Structure 1
Amino acid sequence: MKRYLIVVLLLVLSNTIAFSQNTFKVLIRDSKTNAPLVGATAAVYNTAIGASSGASGELELRNIPDGTHIIRFGFVGYEDKVDTLRFPLAQDAPLVILLAPGGEELEEVVVTTTRSSRTIENIPTRVEAITLEELGEKGNMKPGDIRMLLNESTGIQTQQTSATSANANIRIQGLDGRYTQLLQDGFPLYAGFSSGLSIMQIPPLNLYQVEVIKGSSSTLYGGGAIAGLVNLITKKPTEEGELRLMANVTSANGLDLSGFYGKKFGRFGVTVFASRNTNQAYDPAGIGFSAIPDLERYTANPTLYYYPSDHTTVSLGVNASREERLGGDMRYMDGNEGDFYFEQNNSKRLSTQFNLTHRLSDHAQLSVKNSISLFNREIAVPYYDFRGKQTASFSEVAYSLTKERLDWVIGANLWTDKFTEQHADAVGARDYENTIIGAFAQNTFTPVAWLVLESGLRADYVTPAPANKTKGLFLLPRVSALFHISDRFTSRIGGGMGYKTPTIFTQEAENITFRNILPLDISQTKAETSLGGNADINYNTLIGENVTFSLNHMFFYTRLSDPLVLTLRPDNLYAFRNASGYVDTKGVETNLKLGYAWAKLFLGYTYTDARQHYNDAVADMPLTPKHRVNTVLMLEKEDNFRIGLEAYYFSRQRLSDGTRGRDYWINGVMVEKMFEKFSLFINFENIFDTRQSKFGSIYSGSMRNPQFSEIYAPVDGRVINGGIKLNIL
């Protein structure tokens, strides 16, 4: 009898326990957009009960005992939310939990290049943002300039233009560097005579974000953005203040010192960036010519901010730099006397940036911009010297209106560009003076929740007018659309037109140091015009409960009409002429990202089919690899350590003489250890010492009169660098 009583009591007790277990259903959404958050978590304090949300943002917590419990809800990049609930609940329907984006994470997705108040996920124009964290990683690898952070993006190549002085420019989707606009905070400071040095003269420490638009982006920034644009966003002053110092040394005899300070003081604020970058001439191949030149550069960029009211911000900045760059025969740079080859680049830059923004209401804003740039440069080689002064200005007034479903940006700007050659030789001075008056309008409209449309029109009037039938007037329409197919699947499509005014400052002219090039008559030369578009698909999801997965696949096409080429005449002089034909570039870019705990894997592939269609003949565009592969494995524990493993593949490239270069891999390893107020880093760049000099001689002829081959692979080989970063504030 006692045995039966025990069984009955156990049955009653188990039944009671079973009925005291509760199931809790939750829908976790973004508080701003109401979009479901895939992979959000919920956990009951002091228990092992937890779960993560699926594709619809829904999760289920089971076996919660009766009583009062504290539950924490969280998602990466969002503020945690804690609720106290008493079980059993009075309702059976799923409870909706809204999480607010975290402040730091929210700032990373705000872009300024499109001048829209929308988030990057809700903009029809495809924008790639290299955020502060990524800039820190790339800054460890190349603290002296921005080549590294650009070259490691799919579809972007930094093309070296000089074998001995390391000049380089940007190529996007196979198009020459002169078709890419390089901006700083929306100001066009790097163009014309400075383009062959620009990316080599911009240290990254004071950058907050880099925004890249691939394809025609002419509506807001003018016709020159045929291949795309790169906007360098600098840091702004904060209430907390920031003081960072960085020192870096390299195995290639380089030293980089830089510092940034920024802080608000009531109605005023200030940022100051300064750097000193030096390098001794370096010849890793032992061939007697420098792969890295002798270099000394000083840069200063102070900016003063004034906040007269909560609605108005005024800033005035100065960008100043001086650089002496000398490459060539190592004996010449060692101070030996004799008839040696050398290539010297000395430059000075001084520019101002004035910016005023005034919020007229909660929905409207007025902005006024102005910059004045002075750039002096001298290029010297044996028996020849080319020097000149470029003076440019940019002024703009823009009005923006932001509504719930409709955004407008309307404005006008004025560009002036004047170049004066000093000590011109027998071919005559290559002076020019251009003025461009432009007006633009851009509209972003959300007719339904799943569709966002963006359209723009720009009208530019160029004087003196090129030889196009338009007589100096260029109309540049652009349109794009964003489709929200599902919570995990979106797609963009867009296209537009662009133009480029004729100029002598091209890569071909830079390669021969502008020697024997005749002056360009703009009235007899057509502006290059373009038509292009791209389309992409984006997919992101959660694999299991812990692995994040995202995929972006883009198709692109650009056709460039009346391309300007440098031709050799029978009298051995060079002249710029519009080619009979066109250039087109098409291809795909694929980016895949996987994340698990503190490990992230990035895989990228670029296929570029860029061709010249001249005089009924078709040839591949020189110095453009058809296939590129990017692989990066990043192991990172926040505020503790960072390890990066990289491998990049470049397929064979056609050279101008019709031959093809070798394909090659570049591999690197970067390690950084963080402490409370400082971090130590070391980077092994090109660890297996890939060099073009290993594939064959990089020059022909004698050392006194060398004819250098086109540079399609690294010439500096393996470089190890390391240093310290101090975070004082």
Structure 2
Amino acid sequence: MRYLLLCAVLLTSVATRAQHTLSILVKDDQTKQSIAGVTAYINELKRGAAADSSGHIQFNLPTGKYEIKFSMVGYLPQEKTFVLPLKNIEPVIEVYLEPMAGELAEVVVQTNRTNQNRSDVPTRIEALPAEELDEKSTMRPGDIKMLLGEITGVHVQATSAVSGTASFRIQGLDSRYTQLLQDGLPMYDGFSGGLSLVQVSPLNLKQAEIIKGSASTLYGGGAIGGLVNLITKTPAAKPELTLLLNQNSAKGTDASGFYSQQWTLIGTTIFSSYNYNGAYDPGNTGLSAVPKTNRFTLAPKVFLKPGNRDQLWFGVNFMHEDRLGGDMQVINGHADNQHQYFERNLSDRLSTQFSYTHKLDSNNQLNFKSTVGYFYRTIAEPQFLFKGDQLSSYTEANYVRNGKIASWVAGADVWTDHLPQRDRSVDLSYSHNTYGIFAQNTFKPTKWLAVESGIRLDENSPSSASSNGLFLLPRVNTLFTLGKHWSSRVGGGLGYKMPDIFNDDAEEQGYRYLQPLNIGATKAERSAGANADVNYKGAVGDAFLQVNHLFFLTKVNDPLILQNNAFINAPGYLISKGAETNVKLLMDELGIYLGYTYTNVQRHFNGLSSAQALTPKHQLNADLTYEVENSFRAGVEGFYTGSQLLDGGTTGRDYWTFGLLVQKMWKHFVIFINAENLTDQRQNKWGTIYAGSISNPVFKNIYAPLDGRVINAGVIIKLLNNK
């Protein structure tokens, strides 16, 4: 009897410790494709496993009940409960993970030339993916002021009180220290840059990439503050035909169309838009807060694949705009002795783009790209006329090698920029050429460290005083991957800016009364900048959290300033320093975004320090969205702009603005309604925006909205949908 009892105990013990095989296949909830690399973790056992290349995970576990947590970057985490042994269950259990919203999904970036995932690039590159651009394009379909203005660390500054023109500043630095690119090509430099923000429509964009801080190696010394690269859509196998129609309460109408298709060896994209706005004066000030505008844009491209190793594309951009602001009576054709003031900008933009890539093998390729641009602009005011024809070009050849441990980009480029001027008593014509060579290496010896180092040598003609036209620009960035959730980037570099007359002060003055620039008597502005950030991303319960905090510092020596209508080098330097914090939290269909920017720009001239005007120290963005993918989206957003110093020593008040967006999506239709500045904040509510008389106004700094509350509604019609 004793032996029978002992055997029963042993059998019970063996049964308790019996091992069971749990086989799981993890798939994408949308595409139903398997996902490699998913982590499965059993907290009570402190055991984990990762999905193999086919998405399979296997555990050998004793009898019992287990909660297994599945997580993967780009997907919402999920917990599943399993009771072993399994009963009436298939041999392999399928688990589906839901992809996150576009801004947290993995993004491939192009601005660094190596087409890597953003998380693997040592240079800090922010990206607005297609989903976010689709949302922004319904808020303001006629330009990209709102698209850029809602990015942390980027400030959109009005350059005219009546014409609606604006520039953008990165980390508090003047717009002349930033670059706006399209498909990696500098199409908006110099004279043409003053209208770029209000003449680019976003419907044909698939991604926008932003580098804050020095980007000199690949894009020249002028990218002191940073750059924005607008990447346009390319054709897919399935054709796309999208129409956007929009109407707003500020007398604006927008109509845009985009078509694309890829055949076997040839493809095409065609973008066109027409944007109209009637003159709008919501405050009854007698001056246009929004000018009367007519603009037409056409941008066709052709894509060719002549062989397995070759790809090329060629595009043409054409734009014509007539922009008239000023006294409402003058705009409406009722000028008299008292009502005479106006600002008229007539502009034509014609540019070509060409890109060719030859793959030597799977890791090596040669690239050639070029753009030639013609920009004509007339600025007319009472008793003043300025006309200029800008002819510019950029040509680059480079070699790219992508390796497992080290990648290389090396090449040479040539920039030309010429502005012959007509119809003005003082000649502001100029001619400038830059010849550069560059090399950049990305070295990743371990999983936790990657280093991107680069150097550039430029030669300029004509050269400025005491510079000999030669500039050597080193740059280095490092990426530290500190475990599964933490990473940090630290880097910096040198830059320079050749003297010219194109900056925010000249735009605000309308180029009136300016004296010619003596390039032989002015120095190039030289800069040194550094930045460091820390990032966290991971699951917090059923939500996904991403936090980024950035510190930045840039010093510019001998900055060019406008004094008594002449450009001179200031005797000293300016320093921009500050910090940015971005927080994103996703919980199923709910998304929360918070962004804060602290910017402190100080001028140190003649041994004295002063704050830079029109630079708010504090800015806050907050956004709450609810989205059912491909069905419904609603969002509420708020923006705080802190007080800022104005010219003359006065201070502009701080203010909040709020917005609301609702979209309903079907397969072939999207209906949207959007409201901006719901509380109707306007600078002209707080005092007059000009001194003097209405016939000859002298405008004060514009630091707050003038157009007030604006509501727009429209429809997107997807006659052909490649999704």
TM over 0.5: yes
1:247–1:174 Cα change, 3 Å = same
- The match for 1:69 is 91
Specify whether residues 33 and 435 from structure 1 end up closer, same or farther in structure 2 by C-alpha distance, changes over 3 A only. farther
Partner of 1:96: none
Look up the match of 2:619. 628
Corresponding residue number in structure 2 for 1:616: 607
Contact 2:616–2:642 at 8 Å: present in 1 too?
Answer: yes
**What is the CA distance between 1:24 and its match in structure 2?**
4.0
> CA 1:219–1:402 in structure 2 vs 1: closer, same or farther (change >3 Å)?
same
Write out per-residue CA displacement over residues 384-433 of structure 1, whole angstroms, 9 at most, x where no aligned residue.
011100000111100001111110000000000000111121xx311111
**Per-residue deviation, 1:337:** 3.1
CA distance in 2, matches of 1:28, 1:526: 61
1:238-257 equivalences under 5 Å are 238-257=236-255
Change (3 A) 1:554 1:723: same
Q: Distance in 2 between matches of 1:145 and 1:112?
A: 23
Contact 2:464 2:499 in 1 (8 A): yes
Cα pair 2:37 2:72 within 8 Å, conserved: no
Q: Which of 552, 560, 567 is matched with 1:564 structurally?
A: 560
Q: Do 2:25 and 2:57's aligned partners in 1 also have CA atoms closer than 8 Å? A: no
Q: CA shift at 1:17, angstroms?
A: 11
1:461 corresponding residue in structure 2: 459
Instruction: State whether residues 26 and 97 of structure 2, in contact with CA within 8 Å, keep that contact through their aligned partners in structure 1.
Output: no
SS at structure 2 position matched to 1:138: helix
Match of 2:233 in 1: 235
Q: Pick from 696, 718, 721: which aligns with 1:705?
A: 696
Deviation of 1:604 (Å): 0.6
Q: Which amino acid aligns with 1:690?
A: Q
Return closer, same or farther for 1:75/1:706 CA change in 2, 3 Å cut-off.
same
- Cα distance in structure 2, aligned partners of 1:75 and 1:522: 61
Letter of the aligned partner of 1:348 in structure 2?
D
Matches within 5 A, 1:3-402: 22=20, 24=22, 36=39, 51-53=68-70, 61-66=81-86, 68-77=90-99, 109-339=107-337, 340-402=340-402
Provide the rounded CA distance (Å) in 2 between the counterparts of 1:647 and 1:105. Answer: 19
Q: In the alignment, what sits opposite 1:91?
A: none
Counterpart code for 1:359: K
1:550 and 2:572 correspond: no
Q: Work out which of the residue numbers 686, 694, 704 in structure 2 matches 1:695.
A: 686
- Runs of 4+ aligned structure 1 residues displaced above 2 Å come to 14-44, 48-62, 64-70, 73-78, 104-108
- Which residue of structure 2 aligns with residue 521 of structure 1? 518
CA 1:107–1:258: 2 relative to 1, 3 Å: farther
- Shift of residue 512 of structure 1? 1.3
Contact 1:24 1:61 in 2 (8 A): no
What does residue 496 of structure 2 align with?
Answer: 499
Residues 50 and 285 (structure 1 numbering): CA distance in 2 closer, same or farther, change over 3 Å?
same
Please state how far the C-alpha of 1:34 moved relative to its aligned partner.
5.1
Query: Cα gap change, 1:36/1:444 in structure 2, threshold over 3 Å: closer, same or farther?
Result: farther
Match of 1:716, as an amino acid?
Answer: D
Partner deviation per Cα, 1:359-389 (whole Å, 9 max, x = no partner) = 1111101011111100000011111011100
Check the 8 A contact 1:20/1:65 in 2, yes or no. no
Question: What is the match of residue 94 of structure 1?
Answer: none
Letter in 2 for 1:424: R
TM-superposed CA distance for 1:28, in Å, is 8.1
What is the one-letter code of the residue matched to 2:556? L
Contact 2:27 2:94 in 1 (8 A): no
Quick one: distance in 1 between partners of 2:79 and 2:679?
Answer: 48
What's the C-alpha RMSD, in Å, of the aligned pairs? 2.8
Alpha-carbon distance change, 401 to 54 in structure 1, aligned in 2, over 3 angstroms: closer
Deviation track 1:181-204 (CA, whole Å, cap 9, x = no partner) reads 000001100011111110100000
Secondary structure of the residue aligned to 1:187 is: coil
How far the C-alpha of 1:52 sits from its partner, in A, is: 2.3
Q: Distance in 1 between matches of 2:298 and 2:189?
A: 19
Cα distance, 1:16–1:69 mapped onto 2, change above 3 Å: farther
Contact 1:263 1:269 in 2 (8 A): yes
TM-superposed deviation, 1:722: 0.5
Letter in 2 for 1:303: K
Change (3 A) 1:663 1:58: closer
Name the aligned partner's letter for residue 137 of structure 1.
E
Cα offsets for 1:62-119 (capped at 9, x unmatched): 31334643411343449xxxxxxxxxxxxxxxxxxxxxxx9x9999601110012321
Q: Pick one of 505, 508, 511 that aligns with 1:508.
A: 505
Aligned in 2, Cα 1:76/1:480: closer, same or farther, shift over 3 Å? farther
Q: Is the 8 A contact 2:40 2:69 kept in 1?
A: no
Structure 2 residues without counterparts, runs of 5 or longer: 1-8, 29-33, 43-49, 59-64
SS in 2 for 1:319: strand
Q: Distance in 2 between matches of 1:274 and 1:185?
A: 18
Q: Distance in 2 between matches of 1:518 and 1:476?
A: 31
Query: What is the aligned partner in structure 2 of residue 489 from structure 1?
Result: 486
Q: Where does residue 31 of structure 2 map in the other structure?
A: none
Give the counterpart letter for 1:536 in structure 2. D
In structure 1, how many angstroms separate the alpha carbons of the residues matched to 2:716 and 2:635? 17
Is the 2:159–2:507 contact (alpha carbons within 8 Å) kept by the matching residues of 1? yes
Correspondence list, 1:402-413, <5 A: 402-413=402-413
* Letter in structure 2 aligned against 1:69: P
Q: Distance in 1 between matches of 2:72 and 2:131?
A: 28
* Alignment deviations for residues 505-555 of structure 1 (CA, whole Å, 9 cap, x no partner): 1111111111121111111111111000100000012111x1111100000
Matched, 1:580 2:597: no
Cα offset, 1:60, TM superposition? 7.6
**Residues 282-336 of structure 1, C-alpha deviation per residue, up to 9 Å, x if partnerless?**
0011110000000000001000111001221111100110000000000011111
Kept in 2, the 8 Å contact 1:218–1:225? The answer is: yes
Structure 1 CA distance for aligned equivalents of residues 78 and 388 of structure 2: 65
SS in 2 for 1:190: coil
Of the three residues 580, 595, 599, the one matched with 2:590 is 599
Q: Answer yes or no: is the 8 Å Cα contact 2:25–2:93 preserved in 1.
A: no
1:675 aligns with 2:653: no
Cα distance change, pair 28–556 in 1 and its aligned pair in 2 (3 A) = farther
**Distance in 1 of aligned mates of 2:423 and 2:597:** 45
Q: Is the 8 A contact 2:160 2:508 kept in 1?
A: yes
CA shift in 2, pair 1:36/1:564, >3 Å: farther
Task: Classify the secondary structure of the residue corresponding to 1:195.
Answer: helix
* 2:648 match: 657
With structure 2 as the length reference, what TM-score do the two structures score? 0.90
List per-residue Cα deviations over 1:196-215 (Å, max 9, x = no partner).
11010000000000000000
Distance in 1 (CA, whole Å) between partners of 2:598 and 2:546 is 20
CA distance in 1, matches of 2:159, 2:231: 26
| TM norm structure 1 | 0.89
Q: How far apart, in 2, do the equivalents of 1:27 and 1:676 lie?
A: 30
| In structure 1, distance between residues paired with 2:278 and 2:492 | 46
CA displacement at 1:33 relative to structure 2:
9.0
User: Are 1:718 and 2:679 matched, yes or no?
Assistant: no
Q: Report which stretch shifted further, 612-621 or 233-242.
A: 612-621
Amino acid at match of 2:537: N
Q: Distance in 1 between matches of 2:293 and 2:419?
A: 26
Equivalent residue pairs, number? 683
